[in-house]
Amino acid sequence: MGFLEIDGSAGGQVIRTSIGFSAYSQIPVKITNIRASRPNPGLQAQHIEAARAVAELCDAKVNGLEIKSGYLEFSPKEIEEHDLEIKIPTAGSISLVLQALMIPLIKIESPVKIAFQGGATYGKWAPPVDYLLNVLFPLLGKFGYVADGKIIRHGFYPEGMAEAEFAFHPSKLKPIIIAKRGGIKRIAGVSAASIDLENPRVAERQKAEALKIIELSTGEKASIDCVYSNSKSIGSGIQLWLESENSVIGSSAIGERGKKSETVGKEAASHLMGQTGSVDEFAADQLLPFLAIAGGEIATGKITEHIQTNIKTIEKFMPVKFEITGKRIKVTKS
């Protein structure tokens, strides 16, 4: 079988989706012009770790797997059900590595455990691991996808050095429709920081500001846990989620040098309160592969460029057509 050629200029999402579906569908893929539109074009460390992890799962032959490479050839074999130990030497996102793996893991017939050493649980331009555990996994559970995990140690930019474990179980996917959010059942969250920030009470300050905004907006008293980790790098972040009758909505923010802890909490809470869809725009993007395989419909508050790019990539692998009507996304067989 020849290579399915994919233009990777749009960014890392194309890479993760392409190798994930390549392993799932057994279609070899060649990705060119990788991240050509970005200031630092080519493969970066977290893209390489994602490709390596998926390759280990399906014994794939891979070419072009090096930093700044502008192309990647990925030729998968059958998925092998075995536990994985993934080491990320940078502060690359654990969540983004898992994004690629979660697609072929749909096909497993026995449990697979994945242990991470290194990487980040909170980082820029990536969903925190707390988002996966408390927003994405529960949403995927509505499809029949069964996954769980835990953070052993948080990791922040620039060192990373997180530790986390996940378990994926055999699943039978079913179509799902999340068109209406429904009433609020609970609002919760995690405010995380490195142990070096415990004395200035960074986690508590992030939490306090988030609680204030949530209560003013909804009248609800949120439950937010404060967590300090013996992390290699100084850093912080907050993940919030709103559980409703039909869905889960998430919002996060990360701390940075010179950024007040109160600002971090305010950003996450304000974004959460501003969500208008049945799922947030980040969940909508990440649910697309599962919609393509199982079928269904979701409504999101915003159709992002990420969503549109992901749809174009998925449609190259799967005999489906996504229909966007307003802010609703529906999938049909093509």
CB 21 within 8 A of CB 289: yes
Cβ 7 vs Cβ 18: under 8 Å: no
Q: Rounded to whole angstroms, how far apart are CA atoms 127 and 129? A: 6
Spatial CB neighbours of 54, under 8 Å, sequence gap ≥ 6: 19, 20, 22, 23, 60, 74, 76, 100, 101, 104
Segment 265-268 long-range contacts (CB within 8 Å, at least 24 positions apart):
265/191, 265/205, 265/206, 265/207, 265/208, 265/209, 265/210, 265/211, 265/213, 265/238, 266/209, 266/210, 266/213, 268/189, 268/206, 268/210, 268/238, 268/239, 268/240
Question: In whole angstroms, what separates CA 310 from the centre of its chain?
Answer: 13
The residues near 278 (Cβ < 8 Å, ≥ 6 apart) are 178, 179, 180, 181, 246, 247, 298, 299, 300
CB 254 within 8 A of CB 234: no
Give the residue numbers annotated as catalytic, written as ranges.
306
Q: For residues 162 and 98, what is the distance between their CA atoms, to the nearest angstrom?
A: 14
Count other C-beta atoms under 10 Å from residue 66's C-beta: 10
Amino acid at 170: P
> How far apart (Å, rounded) are the C-alpha atoms in residues 198 and 257?
16
Strand arrangement of the beta sheet that strand 223-229 belongs to: 223-229, 184-194, 236-244, 248-254
